[in-house]
Amino acid sequence: MKANFILFFGIISQVFAVQSCGAQNSRIVTEGAELRLVADGYDFTEGPAADKNGDVFFTDQPNDHIIKYDVEADSVSVFMEGAGRSNGLYFDDENNLIACADEEFQLIKISPNKDIEVLVDDFEGKKLNGPNDLWIAEDGGIYLTDPYYQRPYWDRTSPDLESQNVYYLAPGAKSLITVAKDLVQPNGIIGTLDGKTLYVADIGDKKTYSYTIATDGSLSEKTLFVEMGSDGMTLDNQGNLYITGDGVTVFDKNGKQIKHIAVNENWTANVTFGGKNGQTLFITAMDALYSLKMNVKGVRW
């Protein structure tokens, strides 16, 4: 999460050419595809997540809005105002939007009717640092990162917790358990469809790790995946990992860089797959939402 920027609203048809490293031969991007500016004019975009229709929801956290991009209509609208300063988003199997809402240091569930249920609001009686990003496993278990970023809308100026951890909320559980705590500042998080591997970006240490997920949801076998941190992350159906920050950098399952997608913004915050058949990459960057047609698709399609 970075600083606020100028607020105005609109959809712009401007496009930017996709640039990639000259030595790379990856064909994950549709031939001739261009990076499209879908919408801009927000303060800071984050947390893109696609529902079952392929529509993409993302946050404008400084304005406390969740925005919906309707793929078929090619239009954006405010889905919710007063969304707990939501940051990272993810849909569960019942089309509820699970959100990291750091205004009150909570994990919340937003129903299709916009009813809000607080799933978690503390860890062992202490306020969380500020839930940032999450991933939901096929069995409904939720993994979330909890870095500390001082917000201007908080009264507090220091964290209640001593460390910045990764937590797990088991299906049906009411309390979090710590599954990774030896990180500087965990941020982006994403897991594989088979539920066996979890990737966690330690943006504070400029590294991304992989973990093995046990049947009880615990993590083991922490392994350095790449010497690069990330804000948000996603995976495609070939097992490639998409890391954000300076544009979008793509690594194959062995940690080899296969693509760099340049984005003409100072910071790329997050990324997800959506659209028809999950074959469009959506990127939140500064005040905007971008899209790019792909040959690969998201793991849920």
Nearest by Cα to 148 from 203, 189, 226:
203
| Residue whose entry in the numeric block shows the structure tokens 């920027």 | 5
The answer to whether the pTM exceeds 0.75 is yes
Question: Per the domain annotation, does 60 fall within a domain?
Answer: yes
Question: Per the domain annotation, does 98 fall within a domain?
Answer: yes
Question: Per the domain annotation, does 218 fall within a domain?
Answer: yes
**CATH number, domain at 45?**
2.120.10.30
Q: What is the pLDDT of residues 65-102, one digit of tens each?
A: 999 999 999 999 999 999 999 999 999 999 999 999 99
**pLDDT of res. 65:** 98
Question: Per the domain annotation, does 101 fall within a domain?
Answer: yes
Question: Per the domain annotation, does 33 fall within a domain?
Answer: yes
Nearest by Cα to 295 from 232, 237, 233:
237
Structure tokens at 276: 């028809």
Question: Per the domain annotation, does 6 fall within a domain?
Answer: no
Structure tokens at 237: 């159906």
Question: Per the domain annotation, does 186 fall within a domain?
Answer: yes
**pLDDT of res. 68:** 98
**pLDDT of res. 26:** 67
Percent of the chain with pLDDT over 70: 91
Its domain, for residue 121, covers 15-293
| Residue whose entry in the numeric block shows the structure tokens 């010497």 | 227
DSSP line for 31-73: TT--EEEEEB--S-EEEEEE-TT--EEEEEGGGTEEEEEETTT
Average pLDDT of the chain to the nearest whole number: 92
Please count the other Cβ atoms lying within 10 Å of the Cβ belonging to residue 239: 15
- Neighbouring-strand partners of residue 60: 45, 65
The count of structural domains within the chain is 1
pLDDT at 23 over 70: no
Question: Per the domain annotation, does 267 fall within a domain?
Answer: yes
**pLDDT of res. 300:** 86
Q: What is the DSSP letter of 29?
A: B
